[in-house]
Structure 1
Amino acid sequence: MKREEQALLYGIHDTEKFALLMKTLRRLGVRVREVPNGAWNEKVGFLLGMKGFQAAKSSDSEGFTFPHEVMVLQNVRNKRLEAVLKALDDAGVERIRFKSVVTPFNILWTFRRLCETMQREHGALAVSNEDLQREGDI
């Protein structure tokens, strides 16, 4: 049995971009859920509507904000992941920098932890690319 493909979207304030994303993902059969502001303490599994997950007891996240657009894909892997990303590109959807796929580990994380982890990983990649560029200049 094929598992339902889903996308969590957060922070996409451009209404045209959001509409194009929704249209393209739905055309591909990917169910879309928008992550509400302030859902930082919610588990990824809860945001996806998975059984066994309950709403967080506390919504306080110490004033945490994440100013970036986020897309989290569930049950979209390998060649299908490549096809979905290509379809978004072909549709003219402007790049979303922070993307992730759901894993058995991060489904248990809060949305805040997922965003912080993606930001750290992007920072590490940026430093690595700068190092490579500097080495090439020598």
Structure 2
Amino acid sequence: MGMLLAYELEKGTERELKDLAAALGHQVKMVSSSNYGDPLGYVAGITGFKKSGTRDTEGKLGSEMLVFCGLDREAMDLLLAGLRERKLQIPLKAVITPHNIQWTSRMLYQELKKEHETMTAMKKSPL
């Protein structure tokens, strides 16, 4: 069973995502802003990670974000196909990796936002 960390989803999107995840055998954890300063490993409930003790005071992230944890390739493909079928557009998505597992939610959001803006600009730019 995989875990989906969900951030600042609209109510309709939250409901649809939870239905899809349940149908595929995954859990959805709605992440509170009080956890934005904690390591992703802690937020995902991975053994060995502790709450940071540092409080994130920057408020909301500013857009929806989805983080995948413990999904193999097949499960990821099924989940992404389900998101497309249900027309659930959450532009900022990531997988917890050994590289980012120590990052805070805010750090991951900032990196994803920067990457998303770069990719969007590249799509608009003629070759």
TM-score over 0.5 (shorter chain): yes
**Distance in 2 of aligned mates of 1:128 and 1:89:** 22
Q: Which residue of the other structure, out of 30, 34, 37, is the alignment partner of 2:30?
A: 34
Deviation at 1:122, TM superposition (A): 0.7
Deviation at 1:79, TM superposition (A): 3.4
**Distance in 2 of aligned mates of 1:19 and 1:79:** 23
In structure 2, the residue matched to 1:116 is 110
Q: Does the CA-based 8 Å contact 1:17-1:93 persist in structure 2? A: no
Deviation at 1:53, TM superposition (A): 1.1
Deviation at 1:64, TM superposition (A): 4.9
**Distance in 1 of aligned mates of 2:120 and 2:14:** 27
How many pairs align?
127
Gapped regions of structure 2 (runs ≥ 5) = none
In structure 2, the residue matched to 1:69 is 64
Instruction: Give me the TM-score of the superposition, normalised by structure 1.
Output: 0.83
Report the secondary structure of 1:18's partner residue.
helix
Report which of the two structures shows the higher radius of gyration computed on alpha carbons. 1
Q: CA RMSD in A?
A: 1.6
Deviation at 1:55, TM superposition (A): 1.1
Query: Relative to structure 1, is the Cα distance of residues 60 and 8 closer, same or farther in structure 2, using a 3 angstrom cutoff?
Result: closer
Q: Show structure 1 runs of 4+ deviating over 6 A.
A: none
In structure 2, the residue matched to 1:19 is 15
In structure 1, the residue matched to 2:3 is 6
In structure 2, the residue matched to 1:50 is 46
